[in-house]
A and B are shown apart, each in its own frame.
Chain A
Amino acid sequence: MSNVGLIVGRELKAYVRSPLGYAAAAGVLLIDGIWFMAKALGGPAEKRLSASVLAEFFNGATGTTAILAIALAMRLIAAEHDAGTLVLLKTSPIRDWEIVFGKFLSVMLVLLAITAMTAYMPLLILKNGKVSVGHLLVGYSGVLLLGASVTAIGLFASALAKNQVVAAILSAVLTGAMYLWWLVAKIADPPVTEVLEGLAIHHLRMRDFMTGSLRLENVVYYLAVAFFFLLASVKTLEARRWR
Protein backbone atom coordinates (compact mmCIF):
# COMPACT_ATOMS: atom_id res chain seq x y z
CA MET A 1 0.00 0.00 0.00
CA SER A 2 3.01 2.32 0.33
CA ASN A 3 3.08 2.61 -3.46
CA VAL A 4 -0.57 3.68 -3.42
CA GLY A 5 0.31 6.32 -0.83
CA LEU A 6 3.18 7.50 -3.03
CA ILE A 7 0.86 7.96 -6.00
CA VAL A 8 -1.79 9.67 -3.86
CA GLY A 9 0.79 12.07 -2.43
CA ARG A 10 2.12 13.06 -5.83
CA GLU A 11 -1.34 13.54 -7.30
CA LEU A 12 -2.51 15.68 -4.40
CA LYS A 13 0.58 17.87 -4.68
CA ALA A 14 -0.10 18.24 -8.41
CA TYR A 15 -3.65 19.45 -7.68
CA VAL A 16 -2.42 21.90 -5.08
CA ARG A 17 0.23 23.28 -7.43
CA SER A 18 -1.97 23.61 -10.49
CA PRO A 19 -4.84 26.05 -10.97
CA LEU A 20 -7.14 23.10 -11.75
CA GLY A 21 -7.77 22.19 -8.13
CA TYR A 22 -8.58 25.76 -7.10
CA ALA A 23 -10.68 26.44 -10.19
CA ALA A 24 -12.63 23.22 -9.62
CA ALA A 25 -13.28 24.05 -5.96
CA ALA A 26 -14.32 27.61 -6.80
CA GLY A 27 -16.59 26.41 -9.61
CA VAL A 28 -18.34 23.80 -7.47
CA LEU A 29 -18.84 26.16 -4.53
CA LEU A 30 -20.21 28.85 -6.83
CA ILE A 31 -22.64 26.58 -8.68
CA ASP A 32 -23.78 24.79 -5.53
CA GLY A 33 -24.27 28.17 -3.82
CA ILE A 34 -26.33 29.53 -6.71
CA TRP A 35 -28.35 26.30 -6.82
CA PHE A 36 -28.94 26.49 -3.09
CA MET A 37 -30.07 30.12 -3.29
CA ALA A 38 -32.31 29.55 -6.29
CA LYS A 39 -33.81 26.15 -5.53
CA ALA A 40 -33.69 25.82 -1.78
CA LEU A 41 -33.98 29.32 -0.37
CA GLY A 42 -35.79 30.88 -3.34
CA GLY A 43 -38.35 29.05 -5.40
CA PRO A 44 -42.12 28.99 -4.84
CA ALA A 45 -43.64 31.32 -2.28
CA GLU A 46 -45.46 28.52 -0.44
CA LYS A 47 -43.77 26.95 2.54
CA ARG A 48 -41.62 23.92 1.84
CA LEU A 49 -40.48 21.12 4.08
CA SER A 50 -36.87 21.27 5.21
CA ALA A 51 -36.37 17.71 4.00
CA SER A 52 -37.43 18.56 0.45
CA VAL A 53 -35.11 21.60 0.47
CA LEU A 54 -32.24 19.35 1.56
CA ALA A 55 -33.15 16.79 -1.10
CA GLU A 56 -33.13 19.57 -3.70
CA PHE A 57 -29.67 20.64 -2.53
CA PHE A 58 -28.32 17.10 -2.88
CA ASN A 59 -29.89 16.82 -6.33
CA GLY A 60 -27.86 19.82 -7.45
CA ALA A 61 -24.75 18.62 -5.65
CA THR A 62 -24.78 15.32 -7.56
CA GLY A 63 -24.59 17.23 -10.85
CA THR A 64 -21.66 19.39 -9.83
CA THR A 65 -19.89 16.41 -8.25
CA ALA A 66 -20.24 14.37 -11.45
CA ILE A 67 -18.85 17.22 -13.55
CA LEU A 68 -16.06 17.77 -11.03
CA ALA A 69 -15.19 14.07 -11.06
CA ILE A 70 -14.92 14.09 -14.86
CA ALA A 71 -12.75 17.24 -14.78
CA LEU A 72 -10.40 15.81 -12.14
CA ALA A 73 -10.20 12.32 -13.61
CA MET A 74 -9.64 13.22 -17.25
CA ARG A 75 -5.95 14.02 -16.68
CA LEU A 76 -5.09 11.12 -14.42
CA ILE A 77 -3.54 8.80 -17.01
CA ALA A 78 -4.05 10.64 -20.31
CA ALA A 79 -1.89 13.55 -19.12
CA GLU A 80 0.85 11.14 -18.02
CA HIS A 81 0.73 9.50 -21.41
CA ASP A 82 0.82 12.87 -23.13
CA ALA A 83 3.76 14.11 -21.04
CA GLY A 84 5.68 10.84 -21.32
CA THR A 85 5.72 10.27 -17.56
CA LEU A 86 3.65 7.09 -17.63
CA VAL A 87 6.82 5.22 -18.59
CA LEU A 88 8.31 6.09 -15.20
CA LEU A 89 5.45 4.30 -13.46
CA LYS A 90 5.37 1.41 -15.92
CA THR A 91 9.08 0.67 -15.52
CA SER A 92 9.00 0.89 -11.72
CA PRO A 93 8.25 -2.05 -9.40
CA ILE A 94 4.71 -0.87 -8.88
CA ARG A 95 1.60 -2.75 -9.92
CA ASP A 96 -0.92 -1.37 -12.37
CA TRP A 97 -3.68 -1.66 -9.77
CA GLU A 98 -1.60 0.43 -7.36
CA ILE A 99 -1.29 3.15 -10.00
CA VAL A 100 -5.03 3.09 -10.73
CA PHE A 101 -6.13 2.88 -7.12
CA GLY A 102 -3.71 5.61 -6.03
CA LYS A 103 -5.00 7.96 -8.69
CA PHE A 104 -8.62 7.10 -7.89
CA LEU A 105 -8.02 7.71 -4.20
CA SER A 106 -6.40 11.08 -4.85
CA VAL A 107 -9.45 12.31 -6.78
CA MET A 108 -11.74 10.97 -4.06
CA LEU A 109 -9.81 12.94 -1.44
CA VAL A 110 -10.11 16.13 -3.52
CA LEU A 111 -13.83 15.42 -4.05
CA LEU A 112 -14.23 14.86 -0.33
CA ALA A 113 -12.45 18.12 0.52
CA ILE A 114 -14.47 20.18 -1.97
CA THR A 115 -17.73 18.49 -0.98
CA ALA A 116 -16.94 19.21 2.68
CA MET A 117 -16.70 22.90 1.78
CA THR A 118 -20.37 22.85 0.68
CA ALA A 119 -21.47 21.56 4.09
CA TYR A 120 -22.40 25.03 5.37
CA MET A 121 -25.52 24.95 3.18
CA PRO A 122 -27.15 21.77 4.55
CA LEU A 123 -25.93 22.79 8.02
CA LEU A 124 -28.00 25.97 7.66
CA ILE A 125 -31.03 23.80 6.94
CA LEU A 126 -30.15 21.56 9.87
CA LYS A 127 -29.97 24.55 12.19
CA ASN A 128 -33.04 26.40 10.97
CA GLY A 129 -35.24 23.55 9.75
CA LYS A 130 -36.31 20.11 10.77
CA VAL A 131 -34.00 17.58 9.19
CA SER A 132 -32.01 14.83 10.82
CA VAL A 133 -28.23 14.49 10.83
CA GLY A 134 -28.83 11.04 9.32
CA HIS A 135 -30.53 12.58 6.28
CA LEU A 136 -27.57 14.88 5.85
CA LEU A 137 -25.04 12.05 6.14
CA VAL A 138 -26.96 9.73 3.83
CA GLY A 139 -27.32 12.51 1.25
CA TYR A 140 -23.60 13.25 1.29
CA SER A 141 -22.84 9.50 1.13
CA GLY A 142 -24.89 9.35 -2.07
CA VAL A 143 -23.08 12.35 -3.54
CA LEU A 144 -19.68 10.79 -2.78
CA LEU A 145 -20.69 7.34 -4.02
CA LEU A 146 -21.88 8.87 -7.28
CA GLY A 147 -18.60 10.82 -7.36
CA ALA A 148 -16.66 7.57 -6.89
CA SER A 149 -18.51 5.91 -9.78
CA VAL A 150 -18.01 8.85 -12.15
CA THR A 151 -14.35 9.14 -11.11
CA ALA A 152 -13.84 5.47 -11.98
CA ILE A 153 -15.55 6.04 -15.34
CA GLY A 154 -13.33 9.07 -15.93
CA LEU A 155 -10.24 7.12 -14.95
CA PHE A 156 -11.14 4.39 -17.42
CA ALA A 157 -11.64 6.99 -20.17
CA SER A 158 -8.31 8.56 -19.22
CA ALA A 159 -6.59 5.17 -19.51
CA LEU A 160 -8.14 4.62 -22.94
CA ALA A 161 -7.49 8.06 -24.41
CA LYS A 162 -4.13 9.58 -25.25
CA ASN A 163 -5.09 13.14 -24.37
CA GLN A 164 -7.21 14.81 -21.75
CA VAL A 165 -9.80 16.33 -24.08
CA VAL A 166 -10.67 12.98 -25.61
CA ALA A 167 -10.73 11.47 -22.10
CA ALA A 168 -13.15 14.18 -20.91
CA ILE A 169 -15.46 13.69 -23.90
CA LEU A 170 -15.39 9.91 -23.53
CA SER A 171 -16.12 9.99 -19.80
CA ALA A 172 -18.91 12.56 -20.33
CA VAL A 173 -20.49 10.31 -22.97
CA LEU A 174 -20.21 7.22 -20.75
CA THR A 175 -21.56 9.03 -17.70
CA GLY A 176 -24.32 10.62 -19.76
CA ALA A 177 -25.34 7.22 -21.07
CA MET A 178 -25.44 5.85 -17.52
CA TYR A 179 -27.60 8.81 -16.48
CA LEU A 180 -30.04 8.31 -19.32
CA TRP A 181 -30.81 4.60 -18.99
CA TRP A 182 -34.04 5.49 -17.21
CA LEU A 183 -35.25 7.37 -20.31
CA VAL A 184 -34.69 4.26 -22.39
CA ALA A 185 -36.46 2.29 -19.66
CA LYS A 186 -39.58 4.39 -20.26
CA ILE A 187 -40.02 3.01 -23.76
CA ALA A 188 -38.96 -0.55 -22.92
CA ASP A 189 -41.17 -3.40 -21.75
CA PRO A 190 -40.78 -5.35 -18.51
CA PRO A 191 -38.51 -6.92 -17.40
CA VAL A 192 -36.09 -4.78 -19.46
CA THR A 193 -37.58 -1.69 -17.85
CA GLU A 194 -36.53 -2.77 -14.37
CA VAL A 195 -33.06 -3.72 -15.57
CA LEU A 196 -32.47 -0.37 -17.29
CA GLU A 197 -33.87 1.59 -14.35
CA GLY A 198 -31.62 -0.39 -12.08
CA LEU A 199 -28.60 0.45 -14.24
CA ALA A 200 -29.28 4.20 -14.34
CA ILE A 201 -26.64 5.95 -12.26
CA HIS A 202 -28.83 8.73 -10.89
CA HIS A 203 -32.59 8.37 -11.31
CA LEU A 204 -33.97 5.91 -8.72
CA ARG A 205 -30.69 5.11 -7.02
CA MET A 206 -29.91 8.69 -6.06
CA ARG A 207 -33.51 9.54 -5.15
CA ASP A 208 -33.22 7.30 -2.09
CA PHE A 209 -30.03 8.99 -0.92
CA MET A 210 -31.47 12.47 -1.55
CA THR A 211 -34.47 11.71 0.63
CA GLY A 212 -32.29 10.29 3.38
CA SER A 213 -33.05 6.64 2.75
CA LEU A 214 -30.00 4.40 2.92
CA ARG A 215 -30.48 1.14 1.03
CA LEU A 216 -27.75 -1.45 0.81
CA GLU A 217 -28.53 -2.32 -2.82
CA ASN A 218 -27.87 1.28 -3.87
CA VAL A 219 -24.55 1.36 -2.04
CA VAL A 220 -23.56 -1.95 -3.64
CA TYR A 221 -24.59 -0.61 -7.06
CA TYR A 222 -22.31 2.44 -6.84
CA LEU A 223 -19.42 0.41 -5.43
CA ALA A 224 -19.89 -2.16 -8.19
CA VAL A 225 -19.85 0.51 -10.91
CA ALA A 226 -16.68 2.02 -9.41
CA PHE A 227 -15.04 -1.41 -9.08
CA PHE A 228 -15.97 -2.39 -12.64
CA PHE A 229 -14.45 0.73 -14.19
CA LEU A 230 -11.36 0.61 -11.96
CA LEU A 231 -10.82 -2.98 -13.05
CA ALA A 232 -11.31 -1.95 -16.68
CA SER A 233 -8.71 0.80 -16.13
CA VAL A 234 -6.20 -1.70 -14.72
CA LYS A 235 -6.80 -4.04 -17.65
CA THR A 236 -6.41 -1.16 -20.10
CA LEU A 237 -3.06 -0.26 -18.54
CA GLU A 238 -1.97 -3.88 -18.69
CA ALA A 239 -3.01 -4.11 -22.34
CA ARG A 240 -0.94 -1.02 -23.09
CA ARG A 241 2.19 -2.95 -22.24
CA TRP A 242 1.62 -4.88 -25.46
CA ARG A 243 1.51 -1.74 -27.60
Chain B
Amino acid sequence: MNIVVCVKQIPDPAAPQSLDASHNLNRSGKLILDEADTYGVEMALQLVDKAGAGEVTVVSMGSAADVAGLRNALAMGAAKAVIVSDDALRGTDALGTAKVLAAVIKRESPDLVLTATESSDGYTGTTPVQLAELLGLPSITFAKSVSIDGTTLKVERQTESGYDEVTAPLPALVTVTAGVVEPRYASFKGIMAAKSKPLEVLSVADLALGDQTGATGARQEITDVVTAESRASGEKYVDEGDGAQRIVGFLESIKVL
Protein backbone atom coordinates (compact mmCIF):
# COMPACT_ATOMS: atom_id res chain seq x y z
CA MET B 1 0.00 0.00 0.00
CA ASN B 2 1.79 3.10 -1.26
CA ILE B 3 0.03 6.33 -0.41
CA VAL B 4 0.70 9.87 -1.57
CA VAL B 5 -0.51 12.67 0.69
CA CYS B 6 -0.71 16.16 -0.80
CA VAL B 7 0.35 18.76 1.72
CA LYS B 8 0.81 22.51 1.73
CA GLN B 9 3.06 24.77 3.73
CA ILE B 10 1.11 27.90 4.59
CA PRO B 11 1.68 31.14 6.52
CA ASP B 12 0.67 30.71 10.16
CA PRO B 13 -3.13 31.32 10.13
CA ALA B 14 -2.87 32.88 13.60
CA ALA B 15 -0.56 35.65 12.30
CA PRO B 16 -1.93 38.71 10.47
CA GLN B 17 -2.39 38.06 6.75
CA SER B 18 -1.94 40.43 3.82
CA LEU B 19 -1.79 40.54 0.05
CA ASP B 20 1.33 41.62 -1.85
CA ALA B 21 1.41 44.14 -4.72
CA SER B 22 0.33 41.51 -7.26
CA HIS B 23 -2.57 40.42 -5.02
CA ASN B 24 -0.93 37.15 -4.04
CA LEU B 25 -1.03 36.09 -0.39
CA ASN B 26 2.08 37.35 1.38
CA ARG B 27 4.07 34.19 2.11
CA SER B 28 7.32 35.83 3.16
CA GLY B 29 7.05 34.88 6.83
CA LYS B 30 7.47 31.53 8.54
CA LEU B 31 5.64 28.66 6.86
CA ILE B 32 3.98 25.78 8.71
CA LEU B 33 2.38 22.50 7.63
CA ASP B 34 -1.31 23.24 7.08
CA GLU B 35 -3.02 21.61 10.06
CA ALA B 36 -5.72 20.34 7.69
CA ASP B 37 -3.03 18.17 6.03
CA THR B 38 -1.92 16.47 9.24
CA TYR B 39 -5.11 14.38 9.20
CA GLY B 40 -4.23 12.96 5.75
CA VAL B 41 -0.68 12.18 6.85
CA GLU B 42 -1.93 10.36 9.94
CA MET B 43 -4.63 8.49 7.99
CA ALA B 44 -2.03 7.38 5.43
CA LEU B 45 0.38 6.18 8.12
CA GLN B 46 -2.39 4.14 9.76
CA LEU B 47 -3.53 2.59 6.45
CA VAL B 48 0.02 1.60 5.49
CA ASP B 49 0.49 0.18 8.97
CA LYS B 50 -2.66 -1.91 8.64
CA ALA B 51 -1.65 -3.14 5.17
CA GLY B 52 1.68 -4.25 6.62
CA ALA B 53 3.70 -3.00 3.64
CA GLY B 54 4.30 0.16 1.63
CA GLU B 55 5.15 3.74 2.42
CA VAL B 56 3.81 7.26 2.61
CA THR B 57 5.12 9.98 0.30
CA VAL B 58 4.20 13.62 0.82
CA VAL B 59 3.94 15.81 -2.28
CA SER B 60 3.80 19.58 -2.17
CA MET B 61 4.04 22.74 -4.24
CA GLY B 62 5.35 26.04 -2.95
CA SER B 63 8.50 27.68 -1.74
CA ALA B 64 11.22 25.29 -0.57
CA ALA B 65 13.05 28.13 1.17
CA ASP B 66 11.48 26.80 4.37
CA VAL B 67 10.71 23.07 4.51
CA ALA B 68 9.96 22.76 8.24
CA GLY B 69 6.39 21.75 7.39
CA LEU B 70 7.53 18.90 5.17
CA ARG B 71 10.07 17.79 7.79
CA ASN B 72 7.16 17.73 10.24
CA ALA B 73 5.29 15.25 7.98
CA LEU B 74 8.48 13.17 7.66
CA ALA B 75 8.90 13.26 11.44
CA MET B 76 5.35 11.92 11.82
CA GLY B 77 6.44 8.91 9.76
CA ALA B 78 6.24 9.66 6.01
CA ALA B 79 9.12 8.00 4.10
CA LYS B 80 9.95 10.78 1.67
CA ALA B 81 8.87 14.20 0.42
CA VAL B 82 8.78 15.86 -2.99
CA ILE B 83 8.20 19.59 -3.38
CA VAL B 84 7.91 21.56 -6.61
CA SER B 85 9.37 24.95 -5.87
CA ASP B 86 9.80 27.60 -8.52
CA ASP B 87 9.37 31.38 -8.75
CA ALA B 88 7.59 30.73 -12.06
CA LEU B 89 4.76 29.09 -10.09
CA ARG B 90 3.75 32.32 -8.37
CA GLY B 91 0.11 33.09 -9.10
CA THR B 92 -0.73 29.51 -10.10
CA ASP B 93 -4.43 28.76 -9.64
CA ALA B 94 -6.15 25.61 -8.35
CA LEU B 95 -6.19 23.84 -11.74
CA GLY B 96 -2.52 24.71 -12.37
CA THR B 97 -1.67 23.38 -8.92
CA ALA B 98 -3.53 20.16 -9.71
CA LYS B 99 -1.51 19.83 -12.94
CA VAL B 100 1.78 20.21 -11.05
CA LEU B 101 0.74 17.71 -8.36
CA ALA B 102 -0.55 15.27 -11.00
CA ALA B 103 2.77 15.38 -12.87
CA VAL B 104 4.63 14.45 -9.68
CA ILE B 105 2.13 11.83 -8.49
CA LYS B 106 2.15 10.03 -11.88
CA ARG B 107 5.80 9.19 -11.22
CA GLU B 108 4.84 7.58 -7.91
CA SER B 109 1.80 5.59 -9.19
CA PRO B 110 0.35 5.21 -5.67
CA ASP B 111 -2.57 2.98 -4.63
CA LEU B 112 -4.22 5.89 -2.87
CA VAL B 113 -3.94 9.69 -2.88
CA LEU B 114 -5.07 11.57 0.24
CA THR B 115 -5.61 15.32 0.55
CA ALA B 116 -7.41 17.74 2.85
CA THR B 117 -10.79 19.01 1.67
CA GLU B 118 -9.21 22.42 1.04
CA SER B 119 -6.18 24.41 2.12
CA SER B 120 -6.54 26.72 5.10
CA ASP B 121 -5.02 29.72 3.28
CA GLY B 122 -6.58 29.76 -0.19
CA TYR B 123 -9.56 27.41 0.39
CA THR B 124 -10.49 27.19 -3.30
CA GLY B 125 -11.56 23.63 -2.50
CA THR B 126 -11.39 22.14 -6.00
CA THR B 127 -7.73 21.11 -6.36
CA PRO B 128 -8.23 17.53 -5.05
CA VAL B 129 -11.01 16.66 -7.50
CA GLN B 130 -9.23 18.40 -10.38
CA LEU B 131 -6.22 16.26 -9.47
CA ALA B 132 -8.32 13.07 -9.44
CA GLU B 133 -9.65 13.88 -12.91
CA LEU B 134 -6.15 14.57 -14.27
CA LEU B 135 -4.95 11.25 -12.79
CA GLY B 136 -7.99 9.39 -14.15
CA LEU B 137 -9.00 8.26 -10.66
CA PRO B 138 -12.36 8.01 -8.88
CA SER B 139 -12.61 10.33 -5.88
CA ILE B 140 -14.52 10.41 -2.62
CA THR B 141 -14.55 13.78 -0.92
CA PHE B 142 -15.28 14.83 2.68
CA ALA B 143 -14.34 11.52 4.28
CA LYS B 144 -15.04 11.20 7.99
CA SER B 145 -13.72 7.64 8.05
CA VAL B 146 -11.57 5.63 5.64
CA SER B 147 -10.88 1.90 5.51
CA ILE B 148 -9.52 -0.49 2.90
CA ASP B 149 -10.84 -3.98 2.29
CA GLY B 150 -8.57 -5.71 -0.22
CA THR B 151 -8.65 -3.41 -3.25
CA THR B 152 -11.88 -1.70 -2.22
CA LEU B 153 -11.94 1.63 -0.50
CA LYS B 154 -14.72 2.23 2.04
CA VAL B 155 -15.47 5.76 3.11
CA GLU B 156 -18.07 7.50 5.24
CA ARG B 157 -18.68 10.74 3.38
CA GLN B 158 -20.28 13.76 5.03
CA THR B 159 -23.53 15.02 3.55
CA GLU B 160 -25.80 17.97 4.32
CA SER B 161 -28.00 15.75 6.49
CA GLY B 162 -25.62 13.08 7.83
CA TYR B 163 -23.31 10.77 5.93
CA ASP B 164 -23.20 8.27 3.07
CA GLU B 165 -21.27 5.02 2.90
CA VAL B 166 -19.33 5.17 -0.36
CA THR B 167 -17.05 2.60 -1.98
CA ALA B 168 -14.55 2.87 -4.83
CA PRO B 169 -11.93 0.59 -6.34
CA LEU B 170 -8.26 1.42 -5.77
CA PRO B 171 -6.38 3.37 -6.96
CA ALA B 172 -8.45 6.36 -5.91
CA LEU B 173 -8.29 9.80 -4.31
CA VAL B 174 -9.90 10.69 -0.98
CA THR B 175 -10.22 14.07 0.72
CA VAL B 176 -10.30 13.79 4.49
CA THR B 177 -11.96 16.11 6.98
CA ALA B 178 -10.45 17.16 10.27
CA GLY B 179 -11.48 14.60 12.85
CA VAL B 180 -11.07 11.57 10.55
CA VAL B 181 -8.17 10.58 12.82
CA GLU B 182 -6.22 12.20 15.63
CA PRO B 183 -2.83 13.25 14.19
CA ARG B 184 0.13 12.04 16.22
CA TYR B 185 2.81 14.35 17.52
CA ALA B 186 6.23 13.65 16.06
CA SER B 187 8.44 11.82 18.55
CA PHE B 188 11.99 12.92 19.26
CA LYS B 189 13.17 9.80 17.40
CA GLY B 190 10.92 10.74 14.47
CA ILE B 191 12.25 14.29 14.36
CA MET B 192 15.85 13.02 14.32
CA ALA B 193 15.05 10.43 11.62
CA ALA B 194 13.30 13.04 9.46
CA LYS B 195 16.53 14.97 9.05
CA SER B 196 18.02 12.24 6.90
CA LYS B 197 14.90 11.23 4.96
CA PRO B 198 14.82 12.05 1.21
CA LEU B 199 13.38 15.48 0.38
CA GLU B 200 13.43 16.12 -3.35
CA VAL B 201 13.06 19.67 -4.70
CA LEU B 202 11.83 19.92 -8.31
CA SER B 203 11.52 22.93 -10.57
CA VAL B 204 8.53 23.38 -12.86
CA ALA B 205 10.81 22.78 -15.87
CA ASP B 206 11.22 19.19 -14.63
CA LEU B 207 7.51 18.60 -15.24
CA ALA B 208 7.09 19.79 -18.86
CA LEU B 209 3.89 21.73 -18.23
CA GLY B 210 4.65 24.64 -20.56
CA ASP B 211 2.71 27.81 -19.76
CA GLN B 212 -0.11 26.05 -17.90
CA THR B 213 1.08 27.30 -14.52
CA GLY B 214 1.88 30.66 -12.95
CA ALA B 215 -0.24 33.79 -13.27
CA THR B 216 -0.58 33.34 -17.07
CA GLY B 217 -1.85 29.77 -16.76
CA ALA B 218 -4.45 30.88 -14.20
CA ARG B 219 -6.47 32.73 -16.88
CA GLN B 220 -8.10 34.90 -14.25
CA GLU B 221 -7.26 38.24 -12.71
CA ILE B 222 -8.04 40.15 -9.59
CA THR B 223 -9.52 43.45 -10.69
CA ASP B 224 -9.84 45.04 -7.27
CA VAL B 225 -9.47 44.46 -3.53
CA VAL B 226 -11.76 46.59 -1.39
CA THR B 227 -12.37 46.92 2.31
CA ALA B 228 -15.64 45.19 3.11
CA GLU B 229 -18.43 47.09 4.77
CA SER B 230 -17.72 46.54 8.42
CA ARG B 231 -20.25 45.76 11.10
CA ALA B 232 -20.05 48.18 13.96
CA SER B 233 -19.92 46.68 17.40
CA GLY B 234 -22.80 47.61 19.66
CA GLU B 235 -23.33 47.56 23.41
CA LYS B 236 -21.09 45.43 25.61
CA TYR B 237 -21.58 44.68 29.30
CA VAL B 238 -19.55 42.78 31.84
CA ASP B 239 -21.72 40.09 33.42
CA GLU B 240 -22.45 40.88 37.05
CA GLY B 241 -25.10 38.24 37.43
CA ASP B 242 -27.41 40.28 35.19
CA GLY B 243 -26.03 39.10 31.81
CA ALA B 244 -28.90 36.73 31.07
CA GLN B 245 -31.53 39.38 31.91
CA ARG B 246 -29.75 41.86 29.66
CA ILE B 247 -29.85 39.33 26.79
CA VAL B 248 -33.57 38.78 27.39
CA GLY B 249 -34.02 42.55 27.22
CA PHE B 250 -32.13 42.74 23.94
CA LEU B 251 -34.14 39.84 22.45
CA GLU B 252 -37.32 41.70 23.47
CA SER B 253 -36.08 44.89 21.82
CA ILE B 254 -35.62 43.09 18.51
CA LYS B 255 -38.97 41.31 18.99
CA VAL B 256 -37.51 37.80 19.07
CA LEU B 257 -39.23 37.50 22.47
- Tell whether A pairs with B: no
Question: Which residues of A approach B to under 8 Å, CB–CB?
Answer: none
Question: Which residues of B approach A to under 8 Å, CB–CB?
Answer: none
